[in-house]
């Protein structure tokens, strides 16, 4: 005696296939603009990696010596601290990322800052934007100015990966 096989009824399969075909239509779009916007949104999601925050490290005196970072500069220390996280000079700015000193070229089309430094510096992967309050920073020494300011480090898609307010100190 044969054991009966359980087959999916052919009628049910035909009905499901017909429903799928009706749902799909003939392939023509009902709204090409809406479809294009949807495709663009999907592409943008896949083409834009997520923002990856960075953690700049303190630039030590040993880093300054090793990389010959002497001369006129404006240094940034986050918060109320004194640990320098960024140094801006007339031609270049420097940050320490992943244990390495990274160099940024001065954007000489940006706003002028004290002692020949600039408000923007551009690097291979990131750009630095320095902001100071309107007006002159307070004098706190013979050849030095110090004021509250902020920096933003932006990725290649102009998205902030590091933002901090602290003290900008310029001197020679």
Q: Is residue 133 in some structural domain?
A: yes
Q: Is residue 15 in some structural domain?
A: no
Query: Does residue 143 register a pLDDT over 80?
Result: no
Q: Is residue 19 in some structural domain?
A: no
Q: Distance between CA atoms of 143 and 115, rounded to whole angstroms?
A: 10
Q: Is residue 103 in some structural domain?
A: yes
Using DSSP's 3-state secondary structure scheme, residue 116 falls into: helix
Q: What's the pLDDT tens digit per position in 15-31?
A: 454 445 445 555 555 78
Print the domain residue range for 136.
Answer: 61-171
Stretch 85-103: mean pLDDT: 97
**Total domains in the fold of the chain:** 1
Predicted model pTM? 0.69
What's residue 85's pLDDT?
A: 96
Element of type H or E holding 87: strand 86-88
Q: Is residue 45 in some structural domain?
A: no
Using DSSP's 3-state secondary structure scheme, residue 128 falls into: strand
Q: What is the mean pLDDT of the chain?
A: 82
Q: Is residue 99 in some structural domain?
A: yes
Q: Is residue 165 in some structural domain?
A: yes
Stretch 48-75: mean pLDDT: 93
Stretch 124-134: mean pLDDT: 89
Query: Does residue 161 register a pLDDT over 50?
Result: yes
Q: Is residue 41 in some structural domain?
A: no
């Amino acid at each position: 005696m044969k054991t009966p096989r359980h087959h999916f009824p052919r009628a049910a399969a035909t009905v499901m296939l017909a429903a799928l075909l009706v749902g799909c239509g003939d392939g023509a779009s009902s709204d090409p603009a809406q479809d294009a916007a949807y495709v663009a949104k999907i592409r943008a999601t896949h083409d834009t990696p997520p923002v990856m925050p960075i953690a700049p490290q303190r630039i030590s005196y040993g880093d300054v010596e090793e990389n010959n970072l002497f001369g006129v500069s404006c240094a940034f220390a986050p918060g109320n601290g004194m640990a320098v996280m960024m140094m801006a000079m007339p031609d270049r700015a420097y940050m320490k990322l992943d244990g390495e000193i990274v160099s940024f070229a001065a954007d000489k089309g940006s706003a002028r800052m004290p002692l020949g430094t600039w408000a923007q510096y551009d690097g291979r992967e990131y750009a630095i934007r320095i902001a100071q309050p309107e007006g002159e920073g307070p004098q706190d020494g013979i050849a030095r100015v110090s004021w509250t300011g902020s920096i933003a480090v932006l990725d290649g898609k102009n998205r902030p990966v590091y933002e901090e307010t602290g003290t900008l100190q310029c001197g020679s």
